[in-house]
Amino acid sequence: MKAEQPHPLNKRLGLKTLLIKSLSLFSSVRLYNVIIVAIAQFLAAIFIMAPELSVSSILSDYKLWLIIIASSAAIAGGYIINNFYDREKDLINRPQKTLLENRVRRSTLWSVYFVVNGLAFILGSVVSWRAGLFFAAYIFAMWFYSHKLKRVLLLGNLMSALLAVLPFFVLFMYYKNFYPVIFVHGGFLFLILGMRELVKDLENLRGDLVQNYRTIPVVLGEKQSKQFYTLLTFLTIVPIAALITYFEIGYMQYYFTLIVGSLLVCLPLIWSSRRKREYLLIHFILKIIIGAGVFSILLIDLPDIISRLQTIFN
């Protein structure tokens, strides 16, 4: 007897279910953000962390690739655990996206969580015991932030911004690079991420109130949150001015000039915003600033990149 063939409709339904669950998993791990951080680490290694090394030597360094893969895995795990603890709040703040992410069973997410964190620790340990220790501490810090610190006034915002910067610290450890320009770049990124976290808190005010999150908007109110955002804006101009004035950053100075204009444009927007969709616009602008900042690293040594491309194609 011939084996019974599955009905075409059942096959289509099965493929649709698989696609939805895949999208749910990718949404849970914030795949877009993970890829952006990986690209940023790679470009930072070439143009900021180890500019004295040739591109070919960096590309052939397998330990760098292990660090980037380990960082991506640990960050993905961080998003999973953060979603787990924020599930009830997210159902209020972003119900459609949360319902999509809920299509994957919790047991599956826990399995993925332990697999990616285990991978991060193992790959880090292959690089060095210090890198392994760093990733173990980083994984614990993300769990502790999601479980406890996220609900603590101000400390939650600071910790979130710090956790977003730390994947670049492991590169700093690896290359043993103590150039001041790295700290200034890190300060700029930390402040921008702090502004983004504050805007996210303003977006999510309703859910944070219901779930008793002690965020700045919940405890201090929208007006003082906007005052704090204004302070962060002007503080961010300080590292920008230092990078343009005192360091060789090539054509990246034009990126920072545009950023100052964008941040100043956001100030009247934040003060006039009252509804979630208005805060979403500012959040989107800040995401564009961060994303553009990743690729603007190429502008640090643009003439050399152009000459290399001409050599390749000629």
Residue 187 confidence (pLDDT): 92
Rounded to whole angstroms, how far apart are CA atoms 100 and 280? 20
Domain 179-309, CATH number (from 1.20.59, 1.20.120, 1.10.10, 1.10.1760): 1.20.120
Rounded to whole angstroms, how far apart are CA atoms 256 and 264? 12
CATH architecture of 28-178: Orthogonal Bundle (1.10)
- Asked whether 67 and 127 are in contact (CB, 8 A), the reply is yes
Residue-range domain boundaries for the chain: 28-178, 179-309
Residue 235 confidence (pLDDT): 96
Residue 123 confidence (pLDDT): 96
- Asked whether 123 and 116 are in contact (CB, 8 A), the reply is no
Residue 139 confidence (pLDDT): 96
Rounded to whole angstroms, how far apart are CA atoms 142 and 150? 10
Q: What is the dihedral of CA 112, 114, 120, 122, to 10 degrees?
A: -130
Residue 1 confidence (pLDDT): 45
- Asked whether 56 and 132 are in contact (CB, 8 A), the reply is no
Show the CA angle centred on residue 263, arms to residues 261 and 265, nearest 5°: 70
Residue 156 confidence (pLDDT): 87
Rounded to whole angstroms, how far apart are CA atoms 96 and 99? 5
Q: Where are the alpha helices (DSSP H) in the chain?
A: 8-28, 31-44, 55-59, 62-85, 87-93, 95-101, 106-127, 129-147, 155-175, 180-203, 205-210, 216-220, 222-246, 252-272, 276-296, 302-313
CA quadruple 225, 227, 230, 235: dihedral positive or negative?
negative
Residue 108 confidence (pLDDT): 81
Judged on CB neighbours under 10 Å (0-12, 13-18, 19+), 51 is middle
Nearest alpha-carbon partner for 24 in 105, 95, 85? 105
- Asked whether 168 and 191 are in contact (CB, 8 A), the reply is no
Nearest alpha-carbon partner for 229 in 186, 272, 185, 178? 272
Burial 224-234 (b: 16+ CB within 10 A, else e): ebbebbeebbe
Per-residue pLDDT tens listing for the chain (314 residues): 445 555 555 555 556 666 666 677 677 778 888 999 999 999 888 888 877 787 788 889 999 999 999 999 999 999 989 888 887 777 777 776 666 666 677 788 889 899 999 999 999 999 999 999 999 999 999 999 998 888 888 888 899 999 999 998 888 888 887 778 888 988 999 999 999 999 999 998 888 888 888 889 989 999 999 999 999 999 999 999 999 999 888 889 999 999 999 999 999 999 998 888 889 999 999 999 999 988 888 888 777 666 655 554 55
Question: Coil, strand, or helix at residue 152?
Answer: coil
User: Which residues neighbour 265 within 8 Å (Cβ) at sequence distance 6 or greater?
Assistant: 285
Rounded to whole angstroms, how far apart are CA atoms 41 and 90? 29
- Asked whether 59 and 142 are in contact (CB, 8 A), the reply is no
